[in-house]
């Protein structure tokens, strides 16, 4: 069990000047944080340990390819020489705008080895966002996925003074640069000297947060901070990241800090990293690649659950009882998780369980859980959720079905993870304990603070915002949280999300939303009421789950959400979870009315970020007419 330290005994405790710390949690690290000078050295350390092992598997044109460790680094080194031939040198900014792909990873590592500064841009970004990032970061050379993205950039090319060239992955630019590099006059000795000139304090990358308002913010991340958080991950959860035959399927966009962290973790450790074709082919890719663990945001796990429930339920063989069997299996998985305290499947035989529950679980394991595990490849032992609070019932389901759900938390400004539940101390509902070497605290206003070597250097070209965010060495996250006596952190909500009604009542929406989302038919719930006479909620439904639910009730399936907006059975279910949410707050804070939105929130209209988090301010403006007519009309 990891060592837990409360506010009475903290690691390298800072002496607060403006920040009043109420409670702190931290765990010392034992690794040598100076072992590697830069990310290139960190990733190349694997060549010595496992040169012929498979480092990456990726899909292209429906065909899977495998790349060994030595071949990857040979290609990366030749690509680095090719980049030198373009006149690029240490400190130059290189933009990457593409879906997750082998080309993305290869270019990223080659660039960071040279001391170039890769700047990711979401391929879904608007032209104005692209222009802002290009200008704010000072990108010199931009690589895009295809001609369509190049055409998008060409519209603003003249408005970006630093931008010299735009190259296209699909036109085999990297293959050309690798060929140029293999015949380059730059010797291996000269290349090695260039690599060694990259130090801890040098900038590794600038990652722009998608943000909910205003322009994106460019978080400056150094090689040293990146190395520390990778080493901390291996020491904090070795049974996930540093185990024999570990396999990770990466489907998150590499423009997101979480995916970028996983990229370096995989290349530096023991993991074989699979690169998926995307969310649309996720289940197919999972079945082929057979990962040992899954990482994603809650929305991804909700979609996996819904899709897997359909396939697993169908294997029962009797259509009339499929849905009922699956519903019963869900309840038993939750009960099993509670009875085993969220333990990993490897520990179940060592636990004393009620014989009746054990028999029920064994039955559903053969009929349902085993089939769900097969749907996602059959080898997954852990699921790690981050980015937003996950529905506790969903977390318990995955854990009870044999894929232990470990919730974590981090942000771009901390290079993704800063805390995570542990395999042997999985307190469902919390985001766990700090990563080793990371300091976690709450201040007098219950704001969550993060400190230590993993925090970012500041926001690019924005010292004022940097000074507002980093105070006395602590990143002020804007999240409200609590720390229990064991050091586990529980998220409460976002400071900026606090709703103040017309009557002056302060309401924290996230706990209410999480309870509403315990219903399997709910896709998203957004609580509203800023300057309004009462609190309300906008609810979106998952059509697949709605039809499973209707089938369980002996009712016919529907083809659209519009068909169930006034369905008494659906409304009864929604009233049930809204009532449950209201039981946790006073009447002034309770949800008086809800409305069903016929469409789901999405990236296209800006109501979801590319990492699939809701954008509350955008929802309030995008659907203002709906809100006025459906909820607040007299």
Measure the CA angle with vertex 42, ends 36 and 47; round to 5°.
Answer: 125
**Residue 529 falls in which region: left (phi positive, over 0), alpha (psi -120 to 50) or beta:** left
Alpha-carbon dihedral angle through residues 36, 41, 43, 45, given to the nearest 10 degrees: -80
Regions of the chain short of the pLDDT cut 50: 1-16, 314-321
Cα separation, 448 vs 481, in Å, equals 6
SS3 (DSSP) at 479: strand
Buried b / exposed e over 122-158, threshold 16 CB at 10 Å, is bbbbeeebbbbbbbbbbbbbbbbbeeebbebbeebee
Select from 455, 222, 408 the least CA-distant residue to 298: 408
pLDDT for residue 11: 39
SS3 (DSSP) at 60: strand
pLDDT for residue 138: 98
pLDDT for residue 310: 63
342, containing H or E segment? none
Cα separation, 447 vs 491, in Å, equals 10
Q: In 350-469, which ranges are continuous DSSP H helix?
A: 355-364, 370-375, 392-400, 463-469
Those residues whose C-beta lies under 8 Å from the C-beta of residue 97, and which sit 6 or more positions away, are 120, 121, 122, 123, 125, 130, 142, 143, 144, 145, 149, 153, 255
Number of neighbours of residue 440 by Cβ within 10 angstroms: 29
pLDDT for residue 279: 78
β-pair partners for 64: 59
pLDDT for residue 623: 94
Contact 283, 308 (CB under 8 A): yes
The single residue listed with the structure tokens 């001609």 is 147
Those residues whose C-beta lies under 8 Å from the C-beta of residue 522, and which sit 6 or more positions away, are 516, 539, 540, 541, 542, 574, 577
Contact 19, 213 (CB under 8 A): no
Those residues whose C-beta lies under 8 Å from the C-beta of residue 185, and which sit 6 or more positions away, are none
Measure the CA angle with vertex 410, ends 407 and 416; round to 5°.
Answer: 110
Those residues whose C-beta lies under 8 Å from the C-beta of residue 10, and which sit 6 or more positions away, are 24, 25, 26, 439
pLDDT for residue 188: 94
**Torsions phi, psi for 614 (to 5 deg):** -70, 145
Cα separation, 549 vs 571, in Å, equals 12
- All structural domains of the chain: 39-198+244-291 (3.40.50.12780), 299-448+481-492 (no CATH), 498-630 (3.30.300.30)
Cα separation, 265 vs 420, in Å, equals 16
Q: What is the pTM assigned to this prediction?
A: 0.86
Number of neighbours of residue 503 by Cβ within 10 angstroms: 11
Q: In 340-354, which ranges are continuous DSSP H helix?
A: none
CB-based contacts of 32-37 (< 8 A; 24+ apart in sequence): 33/224, 33/227, 33/228, 33/231, 33/437, 33/453, 34/200, 35/231, 36/227, 37/196, 37/198, 37/199, 37/200, 37/223
pLDDT for residue 500: 85
For the segment 550-601, what is each residue's pLDDT rounded down to a tens digit? 987 889 999 999 999 999 999 999 999 999 999 988 888 999 999 999 999 9
Token pair in block for residue 90: 């240490």
Measure the CA angle with vertex 143, ends 190 and 229; round to 5°.
Answer: 70
Report helix angle 392-400 to 319-339, nearest 10: 100
Cα separation, 88 vs 194, in Å, equals 12
Residues in the chain: 634
Select from 325, 330, 480 the least CA-distant residue to 391: 330
Alpha-carbon dihedral angle through residues 617, 494, 396, 243, given to the nearest 10 degrees: 100
Token pair in block for residue 227: 């190395």
């Amino acid at each position: 069990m990891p060592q837990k330290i409360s506010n009475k005994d903290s690691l390298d405790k800072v002496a607060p000047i403006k920040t009043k710390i109420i409670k702190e949690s931290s765990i010392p690290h034992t690794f040598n944080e100076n072992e590697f000078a830069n990310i290139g050295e960190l990733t190349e350390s694997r060549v010595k340990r496992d040169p012929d092992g498979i480092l990456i598997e990726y899909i292209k044109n429906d065909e899977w390819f495998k790349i060994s460790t030595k071949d990857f680094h040979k290609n990366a080194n030749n690509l680095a020489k090719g980049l030198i031939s373009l006149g690029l040198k240490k400190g130059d900014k290189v933009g990457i705008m593409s879906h997750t792909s082998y080309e993305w990873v290869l270019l990223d590592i080659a660039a960071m080895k040279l001391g170039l500064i890769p700047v990711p841009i979401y391929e879904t970004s608007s032209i104005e966002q692209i222009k802002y990032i290009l200008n704010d970061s000072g990108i010199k050379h931009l690589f895009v996925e295809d001609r369509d993205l190049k055409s998008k950039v060409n519209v603003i090319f003249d408005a970006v003074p630093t931008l010299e060239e735009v190259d296209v992955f699909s036109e085999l630019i990297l293959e050309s640069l690798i060929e140029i590099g293999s015949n380059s006059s730059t010797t291996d000795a000269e290349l090695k000297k260039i690599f060694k000139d990259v130090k801890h304090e040098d900038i590794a990358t600038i990652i722009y947060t998608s943000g909910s308002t205003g322009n994106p913010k460019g978080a400056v991340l150094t090689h040293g901070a990146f190395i520390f958080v990778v080493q901390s991950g291996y020491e904090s959860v070795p049974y996930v990241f540093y185990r024999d035959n570990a396999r990770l399927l990466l489907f998150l966009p590499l423009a997101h800090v979480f995916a970028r962290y996983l990229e370096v973790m995989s290349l530096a450790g023991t993991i074989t990293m699979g690169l998926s074709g995307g969310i649309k082919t996720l289940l197919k890719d999972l079945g082929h690649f057979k990962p040992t663990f899954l990482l994603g945001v809650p929305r991804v796990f909700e979609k996996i659950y819904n899709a897997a429930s359909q396939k697993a339920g169908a294997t029962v063989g009797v259509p009339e009882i499929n849905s009922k069997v699956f519903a019963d299996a869900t309840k038993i998985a939750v009960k099993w998780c509670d009875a085993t305290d969220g333990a990993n499947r490897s520990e179940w035989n060592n636990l004393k369980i009620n014989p009746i529950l054990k028999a029920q679980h064994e039955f559903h394991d053969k009929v349902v859980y085993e089939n769900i595990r097969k749907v996602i490849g059959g080898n997954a032992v852990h699921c790690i959720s981050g980015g937003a609070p996950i529905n506790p019932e969903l977390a318990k389901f995955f854990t009870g079905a044999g894929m232990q759900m470990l919730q974590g938390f981090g942000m771009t400004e901390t290079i993704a993870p800063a805390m995570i539940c542990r395999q042997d101390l999985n307190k469902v509902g919390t985001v766990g304990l700090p990563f080793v070497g990371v300091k976690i605290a709450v201040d007098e206003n219950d704001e969550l603070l993060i400190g230590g070597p993993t925090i970012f250097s500041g926001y690019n070209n924005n010292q004022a915002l940097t000074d507002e965010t980093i105070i006395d060495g602590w990143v002020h996250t804007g999240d409200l949280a609590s720390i229990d006596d064991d050091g586990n952190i529980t998220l409460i909500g976002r400071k900026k999300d606090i709703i103040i009604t017309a009557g002056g009542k302060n309401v924290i929406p996230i706990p209410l939303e999480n309870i509403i989302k315990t219903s399997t038919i709910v896709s998203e719930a957004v609580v509203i009421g800023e300057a309004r006479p009462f609190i309300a909620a906008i609810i979106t439904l998952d059509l697949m789950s709605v039809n499973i639910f209707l089938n369980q009730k002996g009712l016919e399936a529907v083809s659209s959400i519009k068909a169930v907006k006034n369905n008494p059975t659906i409304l009864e279910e929604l009233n049930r979870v809204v009532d449950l949410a209201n039981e946790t707050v006073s009447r002034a804070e309770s949800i008086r009315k809800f409305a069903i939105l016929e469409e789901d929130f999405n990236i296209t209209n800006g109501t979801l970020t590319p990492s699939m988090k809701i954008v509350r301010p955008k929802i309030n403006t995008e659907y203002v007419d709906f809100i006025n007519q459906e909820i607040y009309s007299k």
